[in-house]
Amino acid sequence: MVAMGGGLDLPSREAENGKELVVCALPWPEEKVESGIKALKEAFRDVEVKYFHTKFANGKVEPVDVSDDILQRTAYLATLFWLPPSVSSIPSTKLIQFFSAGTNHIAQHPIYTDSKIPLCSANGIHGPQIAEWVIMMDLVHSHGYTKLYDAQKRKEWDQKMGMTVSDRVGKRVGILGYGSIGRQVAHVAKAMGMDVIAYTASPRKTAESKHDNGYIVPGTGDPEGTIPSTWYSGTTKEDVHNFLEQEIDLLVVAVPLTKTTTHLLSTPEFELLHKSNPRGTYITNIARGQIIDQKALITALEKGHISGAALDVTDPEPLPKDDPLWDAPNVLITPHVSGSTDVYADRAFQVLIENMKKEKSGGKLINEIDRERGY
């Protein structure tokens, strides 16, 4: 928790009615998040909420008009991608709660680089829907569904197309980045009879270190960290390669984007996957496009070094129409939507509420960003 200080020359963090000001700059019309705002007001009788609908489409953010007076009085800021222009514009802010899983998109902003305002992510709210996307894509691939759907559109009945199914029992899923999303993938995969192995940067050798201490959607994930049959860790190429050579059938890319993880998967890694599992590893990326060397991925797909790829993120975004990735064999691409769900905002508001409680009580914040590590 960071004490912001005070003095007669600083604006009051309280509104004229004596309530602390919570500014929400979010990409939904206000009526779509009424339940979240209601929950916030019920949790804190001493807050005032001002809502600003931020427009965002295909990677572009429209300007948001928030007056200087409001910014000066903002005690808590809830946002997805918008930030005020400078640190000095929000002198009373105690906490910024992002409604996104990562904050790499604002890592060069002065509020990130030059302030000590606690920044928290909404890590944990994406597990259910993204895990469903991962498993859906894996099943679409393993059941050859795209060919069957194409046959349906041609009004063609051909049973031979449906005879090359590979069910998931006994197959191995390797989760590169065992956070909240990876844990829910593990939860579902285990229920399907798959073996799960996990990879994290930091060693998790004790039972306590394997716990998930972030936000958890009730009934989901792997809170105690007991699902993986084996846990791998490290930050060197050798460590990563040790994990990748474990005959992985489904590789789930779920690490944050940092300098270390940029192009973490390239030609040597795809060749290693092929050598370890000649049946073919299927890769799903729900993290960030830059984690995979996209040119090397296309080559690996063309050479059959991996069996296919499902990508909800690309490099760049939006993916240009003339990019060769569109036409690569055995690839499925969605426009960064795997995290979408009709309860997204409600879950994110719950994280905001919990963090405001912890900030007020001096407790440890949920999902606080380590600026040096980048996540």
> Does residue 255 sit in the same domain as residue 152?
yes
Q: Helix (H, G, I), strand (E, B), or coil: what is residue 240?
A: helix
Would residue 289 count as lying in a domain? yes
Of 255, 164, 217, 194, give the one whose Cα is nearest residue 348.
Answer: 217
Would residue 38 count as lying in a domain? yes
Mean pLDDT of 93-120: 94
Residues classed as catalytic: 288, 317, 336
Structural domain that includes position 111: 20-125+341-361
pLDDT-based confidence at residue 58 (cuts at 50, 70, 90): low
> Does residue 247 sit in the same domain as residue 285?
yes
> Does residue 141 sit in the same domain as residue 251?
yes
Average pLDDT for the chain: 93
Cβ–Cβ < 8 Å for 170, 193: yes
> Does residue 158 sit in the same domain as residue 305?
yes
Of 77, 129, 128, give the one whose Cα is nearest residue 106.
Answer: 77
Would residue 168 count as lying in a domain? yes
The CATH number assigned to the domain holding 271 equals: 3.40.50.720
CA distances for 373 relative to 101, 103, 201, 209, angstroms: 15, 11, 11, 18
Would residue 239 count as lying in a domain? yes
CA R_g for the chain: 22
Would residue 373 count as lying in a domain? no
Cβ–Cβ < 8 Å for 97, 78: yes
> Does residue 204 sit in the same domain as residue 266?
yes
Number of domains in the chain: 2
> Does residue 224 sit in the same domain as residue 301?
yes
Would residue 107 count as lying in a domain? yes
> Does residue 107 sit in the same domain as residue 46?
yes
> Does residue 189 sit in the same domain as residue 260?
yes
Would residue 156 count as lying in a domain? yes
User: Tell me: the pLDDT tens digits for 226-239?
Assistant: 999 999 999 999 99
> Does residue 188 sit in the same domain as residue 218?
yes
User: Tell me: the pLDDT tens digits for 327-375?
Assistant: 999 999 999 999 999 999 999 999 999 999 999 999 999 999 999 888 8
| pTM assigned to the model | 0.88
What does the alpha-carbon distance between residue 374 and residue 99 come to, in Å, rounded to a whole number? 16
Q: Helix (H, G, I), strand (E, B), or coil: what is residue 128?
A: helix
> Does residue 158 sit in the same domain as residue 46?
no
> Does residue 203 sit in the same domain as residue 253?
yes
Would residue 374 count as lying in a domain? no
> Does residue 120 sit in the same domain as residue 132?
no
